[in-house]
Amino acid sequence: MKTNVFVYPYKSKGDHFLIEHSIKSVRKHFKNAFIVTIGDKSGFEDINIPFKDSYQERGANVTAKCLQAASMWDEFIYMNDDFFINDRFDFDVTHGSLDDLAIKERASANWNRGVENTKFWLKYNDHTYRSYECHQPVRFNSELLKETMAQLDWKNNEHFIKSIYFNVNVPIRFKPIDNTKLIKFDKKRAGSLLTMFGCLSVGGDFLTVSGADYIRKLI
């Protein structure tokens, strides 16, 4: 059985609740998983690779950690600490939006700056600019990732590594997915996302007593 390397670029916020249960969801449904954190240690991974954030932009620090993973494995699955998955999620296809990258009125200035920079670079270099920012895991080929990110100044500009990578390296197998992130706890919608797509991502306001209990019961 092929081992899947799951990589979390991880910066602790002082509480490991999310990543603990994210990792447990991976282990429950993917017995061949090898769990790596790059950055802070959670205590639930197979190995931790210490890595200090060196850049002002959050996206640049995430990319640096992904490129560290790319220097160690031929391919890996990119995860966030607030991703919860089950065996319905298919890593043999790439999931993304049917829509192009676009500014969001309610998004943070940081998010919208990432949209602007990513879209500008893709358009300038004659690539499509479909959004792959649906808060879902993806599989990266390490050589392609290194080749792709070497083409731009990612260290000094906010950007979206997933959308850059997949618009440059257009996936052969693609399936549309809803944005799987729920900012507030909604049991019905959470269950629907996990049933339809096998993936759920949560925001801080999701973690009410009921929301945290819901996540515990996923495992």
Task: Name the pairing type of β-strands 33-39 and 94-96.
Answer: unpaired
- Whether 75 and 146 have beta carbons less than 8 Å apart is answered as no
What is the model's pLDDT at position 105?
Answer: 83
Q: How far is 136 from 198, CA to CA, in rounded Å?
A: 10
- Global confidence as pTM: 0.95
For the chain, what are the domain ranges?
4-82+94-177, 180-219
What are the angstrom distances between the C-alpha of 180 and each of 29, 38, 96? 18, 24, 10
What is the model's pLDDT at position 1?
Answer: 52
Count of C-beta atoms within a 10 Å radius of residue 165: 23
Q: Which helix (H) or strand (E) holds 187?
A: helix 187-196
CATH code for the domain defined by 4-82+94-177 = 3.90.550
Give every CB contact of residue 149 below 8 A, 6+ residues apart in sequence.
63, 67, 161, 164, 165
What are the 10-residue block averages of pLDDT along the chain, 219 residues in total?
A: 88 92 97 96 97 94 98 98 96 96 87 94 97 97 98 95 98 96 96 97 94 95
Q: For residue 150, what are its two tokens?
A: 């070497």
3-state class percentages of the chain: helix first, strand second, coil last, to nearest 5: 35, 20, 45
What is the model's pLDDT at position 104?
Answer: 86
- Whether 214 and 202 have beta carbons less than 8 Å apart is answered as no
- Whether 104 and 134 have beta carbons less than 8 Å apart is answered as no
